[in-house]
Amino acid sequence: MSVTDLNVVARALVAPGKGILAADESSPTIKKRFDSISAESTEDSRRSYREMLFTTPDACRHISGVILFDETLRQSTRDGTPFPDYLSSQGMIPGIKVDKGAKALPNFTGEKVTEGLDGLNNRLAEYRDLGAKFAKWRAVIDIGDGIPTDFCILANAHALARYAALCQEAGLVPIVEPEVLMDGDHDIVLCEEVTNTVLSVTFDQLKLHRVNFEGMLLKPNMVISGKKCPVQAGAEEIAEATVRCLTANVPEEVPGIAFLSGGQSDVDATTHLSAMNKLGSHPWELSFSYGRALQASALQSWAGQKENYELGQAAFGLRAKLNGLARTGSYNPSMESATT
């Protein structure tokens, strides 16, 4: 795939009014989600749940693409249509999570590095043949006592850049996801400082690896207070700090930034995205690539019961619509009570 073709896919993923559904939870992670609704996690129940999301009426109006897990990429709808084919037929671009998870970084207590570069070439070729048009790799950076270290940031940025280069070589658009976690007690000032460093080092590495910025997307954290911080920043402060951080580090050639929700509630994630887009025009599209923040209400409404299928779809459809409105800064929390 040429640079032009990569750019076309990247821009389609952050098309106005649309964003990405992250449905790439690993089997252990989705089991935890199913446990929360007392539903058994089996291959078929996972397939059925994801089909519920993908076949939601008019989902393509607000969902541009879907990040799939290896298992899901190989599954089909009840009528036998492979998920990648179904999504493509509905105007939603199929993608794939390709990393092997964050593992302990030797000699660096409390820090992790994402693995999965070994054999990635072959996996990318297979995923492309199965219908994937883009890929995702997540790195996690924690804030705590003495961390993150410069080496942890560099190790993860280097892996992200190698992954991105391999993706583009294989004809897939890479979504580069360096996530500064919000699990600590740090304030928004420290989060901005760390996020600035992480993004700066990441783009330095991307440049060194000759990754074409026009054929990639960034999936960062928002600049936000840690969950345990006694003083939580408001939406306007989060929006201003995040845009300031992105402006300082993200080249204008990057087509779009699709935020992760990172443990925020669905309402908060939508509110903060809308606040950023209210600030005015930006050189890149500011979009979303949410997992829990798009799925939480749908999961609860479905509750693992076939008879709740349409309820789950209604909840997902509303959440997608509200995030679509946040893309233009048009979201208002009063819309949460809407039923259609």
Angle between helices 292-302 and 43-54 (to 10 degrees): 110
- Name the residue among 22, 18, 28 with its Cα closest to residue 61: 18
Give 3-337's CATH code, choosing from 3.40.50.620, 3.20.20.70, 3.60.15.10, 3.30.460.80: 3.20.20.70
Rounded to whole angstroms, the Cα distance separating 75 from 73 reads 6
Instruction: Note if 252 is an active site residue.
Output: no
Phi, psi of 324 (to 5 degrees): -60, -40
DSSP-derived letter for residue 222 is: P
Sketch the domain layout of the chain as residue ranges. 3-337
Strands 112-114 and 102-104: antiparallel
Instruction: Note if 219 is an active site residue.
Output: yes
- In this prediction, residue 4 carries a pLDDT of 87
- In this prediction, residue 340 carries a pLDDT of 44
Provide the CA 236 distance to its chain's centre, in angstroms. 22
Distances (CA, A) of 181 to 30, 31, 154, 186, 249: 20, 22, 16, 10, 19
Maximal CA-CA distance, the chain: 53
- In this prediction, residue 338 carries a pLDDT of 60
In the chain (340 residues long), the average pLDDT of successive 10-residue segments reads 90 98 93 93 95 96 98 96 98 98 96 98 98 98 97 98 98 98 95 98 98 98 96 96 98 98 94 96 97 95 94 96 96 76
pLDDT digits (tens, 9 = 90+) for 268-323: 999 999 999 999 899 999 999 999 999 999 999 999 999 999 999 999 999 999 99
Indicate which residue of 177, 179, 192, 285 is catalytic: 177
Indicate which residue of 18, 133, 219, 321 is catalytic: 219
Side chain identity at residue 317, one-letter code: G
| Contact indicator for 88, 130 with CB cutoff of 8 Å | no
